[in-house]
Amino acid sequence: MKLKHLFPAFIALSATSVLAQGDLAPKYSNEFLSIGVGANSLGMSNASVAGVNDVTAGYWNPVGLTEVKDFLQIGAMHAEYFAGIAKYDYIGIAKPIDDMSTAAFTFIRFGVDDIPNTTQLIDASGNIDYDKITTFSAGDYGFLFSYARKMPIEGLSVGGNFKIIYRHVGDFARSWGFGIDAAATYKLGEKWKFGFMMRDATSTFNAWSYNLDDQMIETFELTGNEIPQNGLELTLPKMILGASFRQPIVKDFYVRSEINFDLNTDGRRNVLIRTSPISIDPHMGIELGYGKWVALRAGIGNMQWIKNPDLTESLTLQPNIGIGVGFKDVRIDYAFTDIGDASVALYSHIFSLRFSISDPKLKESASSTE
């Protein structure tokens, strides 16, 4: 029996109910938007805020889109977690508007499908009818619209995201949310880049609504679960600071390193620096590459304190590795990474693709001159 068959509908609904009815600013709100996109960044433990320069910048730091020089860039990724129970998908499109600005669109989905709905399994007389079992999906969707522009100050670029969030648990519960991200980068010479990302800069509001019939409400009462009520969920701002250094070695060989600091504003978290109201979570990565052809990557992140049997604490680290290969207008990246649970280490193989499309007008012009 698959693990997902053990999840009845009222458990999923109870989780959303706690978020919507409790504190408006719960920890880990909209956390599906913190997983990351692109195996190139995941292999470096998500240390990408300063150095990102491709279509995935629409997620990591929209300002990095100003370094996209292709007519159009398309990125895609599919990943599965927990033995294939949860599916994670990403598609991104980036298009330069002119020499100074770029726009992009990012789509993210994290969902669990075919969850059995057992709320109708037992009727009022106590009879069990397995034909009453239906299935539903629980999914989180993110739609990010990005814009970035180079500023008159040399090396400085700014940008941001407008994002729409849709979350649902079958037909029983759904929410819509809206938020804004703000970002900036500063390039110092040819080697140093500094990045700043403010996620949910104005806070992101999710409005939850529920559609429960009488039998489902009765199931909640019998199982001791609180009946969900319509409400709001608030995602507080999160600041990410990053510094990237790129050093040429010989010919086309180079080494690039980056360190990021995530500053969470939703209270004390179990990260390296645990304070209230801000907790600081550092993560870092390194990349050794040869031009645009091949790159080896490694990173360390997800630093957490684990309590030992003798009540002392130990610091755990999550290592990640990856590799990227480029050929003409196609790039394939791979990462061996964990979704974020260092104590269990549920590592997954992640692949992502990036396509670069040239301007068709330039191709026609080149063909006519030959």
Q: Which residues contact 125 (CB under 8 A, 6 or more apart)?
A: none
Q: Which amino acid is at 28?
A: Y
Structure confidence by residue, pLDDT tens digits, 65-91:
999 999 999 999 998 877 778 899 999
The token pair that represents 334 in the structure block: 């791979």
Place of tokens 């002119």: 98
In 3D space, the residue among 151, 147, 160 whose CA is nearest the CA of residue 198 turns out to be: 160
CA-to-CA distance for 109 and 117, rounded, in angstroms? 22
Instruction: Report the pLDDT value the prediction gives residue 18, as an integer from 0 to 100.
Output: 41
Cα–Cα distances in angstroms (integers) from residue 97 to residues 54, 69, 72, 101, 357, in the given order: 15, 10, 10, 6, 15
d(CA 113, CA 166): 16
CA–CA gap between residue 179 and residue 5 (Å, rounded): 34
Q: Is 100 in contact with 109 (CB distance < 8 Å)?
A: no
| Triad 267, 194, 302: Cα angle to 5° | 40
Domain boundaries, given as residue ranges, for the chain: 3-238+327-369
User: What Cα–Cα distance (Å) separates residue 65 from each residue in 90, 149, 248, 285, 327?
Assistant: 17, 9, 23, 20, 21
Greater pLDDT, 220 or 300: 300
> Where would I find the beta strands (DSSP E) of the chain?
72-81, 86-96, 101-117, 134-150, 156-169, 173-188, 192-199, 204-210, 231-235, 238-248, 253-264, 279-290, 294-307, 313-327, 330-338, 347-357
Residue reference for tokens 């019998």:
222
SS3 218: helix
- Residue of 360, 354, 361, 362 whose CA lies nearest to 73: 354
pLDDT digits (tens, 9 = 90+) for 281-335: 999 999 999 998 999 999 999 888 888 888 888 888 889 999 999 988 999 999 9
The pLDDT value recorded for residue 80 is: 85
- Average predicted confidence (pLDDT) for the chain: 85
Question: Cα–Cα distance between 117 and 170 in angstroms, integer?
Answer: 9
Long-range Cβ contact pairs of 13-16 (< 8 A, separation 24 or more):
13/169, 13/172, 13/173, 13/210, 13/212, 13/220, 13/225, 13/228, 14/220, 14/225, 14/226, 14/228, 16/167, 16/169, 16/173, 16/175, 16/208, 16/228
Residue 123 has pLDDT above 80, yes or no: no
Rounded-to-10 torsion of CA 212, 215, 216, 220: 130
The letter for the amino acid at 238 is K
Split at pLDDT 50, 70, 90, the class of 3 is: very low
Residue 370 corresponds to which amino acid? E
152-175 tens-digit pLDDT: 999 999 999 999 999 998 888 899
Q: Which residues pair with 72 in a beta bridge?
A: 357
Q: How confident is the model at residue 13 (pLDDT cuts 50, 70, 90)?
A: very low
Q: Facing residues of 279 across strands?
A: 264
